[in-house]
Amino acid sequence: MAVRLFNTLTRSAQPFAPLDSDGKTVGMYCCGPTVHDFAHIGNFRTFVFADLVRRYLEFRGYAVRHVMNITDVEDKIIRRVREAGTTLREFTGRYEAAFLQDFDTLLCLRPHATPRATEFIAEMIELIARLIERGIAYRAPDGSVYFSIDKYRGCGCKYGQLVKLNFDAMRVGDRVASDEYEKESLADFALWKARVPEDGDIAWPSPWGEGRPGWHIECSAMSMKLLGESFDLHLGGEDLAFPHHEDEIAQSEGATGRPFVRHWMHGAHLLVEGKKMSKSLGNYFTLRDLLAKGCTGREIRYLLITSHYRESFNFTLDGLAGARTALARIDECLAKLRETAAAAHAPANAALLEQFTAALDEDLNISAAWAVIFDWVRDCNRAIATGQLTPVAAAAALGAWERVDSVIGIGNKAEAEAPAGLLALLEERNAARKAKDFKRADVLRDELKSQGWAIEDTPKGARLKPL
RNA sequence: GGCGGGGUAGCCAAGUGGUAAGGCAGGGCUCUGCAAAAGCCCCAUUCGUCGGUUCGAUUCCGACCCUCGCCUCCA
């Protein structure tokens, strides 16, 4: 049994096998954020998807080296730095910190490296120089350096590996014109952008004069520097397939003459309330907007990984409410398992793990995996309800859950401890109930409720739960 | 216009050439002083429409309708 993953290069799911001779080490690169604003929920779908890929490969025994870039120089950033009258570092530092905080909130594992574009300018210049040396890139009269798709093709390389392209039928829109500098050919793209007055002091020296890198070159330079000229996995949102990833392939393979990435994976976008997210529709949410509505990172993470990564997903506030209920069901089950297991120990239950693995091995069929998990929850609940679950069986179930959770990463709900004063009120209510003074008991229940705690009367006694 | 995804219950969402997972919502029941919480059970004769292939189609093929994305800012 092998992990099968869909590869955009072949448009089919294929068995995953690392390039490394040990068969264990995996290099994985995911296109990270452009730090010009707070990231929105759609951005995070991609990062949670990448986190899931990494966690699952680790679950399957691979040693993953996960790299995610931070794009901290780019047109929009430069404009906003100018508008804000601040420095590049100060501006991007603020949003980078916010991004990483959001990343943690969503319970994503931090990549092993998060290189900033501005700290790899030398590597980018070196890569561009190699392309010029090979005759694939050229310097335009304005001082910018462009990648020549014609020359690249002339070397026997293929442009258009990820997306089927028909350049003749391509619509030439306004956006092409607005990005036009002095390219030889329409499809050529910038490797190095010559400094213009609007750039202010945001520029670096290079053999071709002052300027700044084009957008695509950073990912080629940083991924190859940190993972090698050929590596296993490259991930990103589906919109990046063209031109960003196509151009990355061209730059990298054009410079090295070697295959760049073996396996490309693209996450689909999400809709919000059935529509494309847009500020004017009022369905544009940053993670922070959602947290302000009172939901947790854990709930958002759950919702983002309830559906398959290659399907567009409809993110709704209703769905978010449902996420809370669904997670509570899992939490309840786990709490009861822990109570039943007590001090017992046992190896992880194999049945759950087998089914879970079988589901995710098929191109990360997470929906099928959730079905396995919820079937398991129901089975556990039934066994507990009928008193048939032994402490050893409960411990085995918990052992398996721990493995499952290493992949889905929803963890355990933080067990909030009620303040002593409230516990005293709870005791008072218990006494009142015992004395059949239900009026008094209900008053105490309301009092606790007004302080944000609900009473749950269980067969084993009353307990407090935050509302 | 070119290319590529989708349309499965009230909502979200898997899946298969042999008769439809799971979650949420809803309904019933158990527990409870009552309630809440929790648990159990129920909940699509049917998979966008129309044709075709087949013993059999939601699944394969064709046409059509609707929808989303990419086509050099983009997760």
What is the structure's pLDDT at A109? 97
Same domain, A77 and A115: yes
Last residue of a domain, one of A267, A295, A313: A267
Distance, Å, A274 CA → B67 C1': 10
For residue A361, is it within any domain?
A: yes
Strands A4-7 and A12-15: antiparallel
- Provide the number of structural domains found in chain A: 3
Cα R_g (chain A), whole angstroms: 27
- CB-count exposure of residue A345 (10 Å: 0-12, 13-18, 19+): exposed
Asked whether residue A279 carries a pLDDT value surpassing 50, the answer given is: yes
Do residue A261 and residue A278 come from a single domain?
no
By C1' distance from the Cα of A366, the closest nucleotide is: B14
Q: Is A261 found in the same domain as A352?
A: no
pTM of this structure: 0.94
Q: Is A73 a member of any domain? A: yes
For the segment A178-224, what is each residue's pLDDT rounded down to a tens digit?
A: 444 567 887 889 999 999 999 999 999 999 999 999 989 999 999 99
A381 touches strand B (CB under 7 A): yes
Residues 169-188 of A with CB under 7 A from strand B: 169-173, 175-176, 178-179, 186-187
Q: Is the distance between the Cβ of A325 and the closest atom of strand B smaller than 7 Å?
A: yes
Domain residues for A324? Answer: 272-408
Regarding whether A276 and A263 lie in a shared domain, the answer is: no
What number is the ipTM of this complex? 0.94
List Cβ neighbours of A417 (8 Å cut-off, separation of 6 or more).
none
Q: Which of residues 105-164 of A touch strand B (CB under 7 A)?
A: 163-164
In which residue are the tokens 């490394």 written? A20
Nucleotides of B under 7 A from a protein CB: 1-6, 11-15, 21-25, 31-41, 68-75
Q: Are residues A188 and A283 in the same domain?
A: no
Q: Identify whether residues A182 and A280 lie together within a single domain.
A: no
How many of the other CB atoms lie within 10 Å of CB of A77?
A: 21
Which residues 396-435 of A interface with strand B at a CB distance below 7 A?
Answer: 433
Residue A415 included in any domain: no
Residues A244 and A104 grouped into a single domain: yes
Same domain, A107 and A145: yes
What are A313-366's pLDDT values in tens digits?
Answer: 989 888 999 999 999 999 999 999 998 998 899 999 999 999 999 999 999 999
**Domain co-membership, A195 together with A159:** yes
Work out the average pLDDT over A163-173. Answer: 58
Domain stop point among A244, A267, A290 = A267
A458 touches strand B (CB under 7 A): yes
The protein residue nearest nucleotide B35, judged by CA to C1', is: A442
Question: Does residue A203 belong to any structural domain of this protein?
Answer: yes
- pLDDT at residue A179, as a whole number: 45
- Same-domain check for residues A97 and A166: yes
Q: Are residues A88 and A195 in the same domain?
A: yes
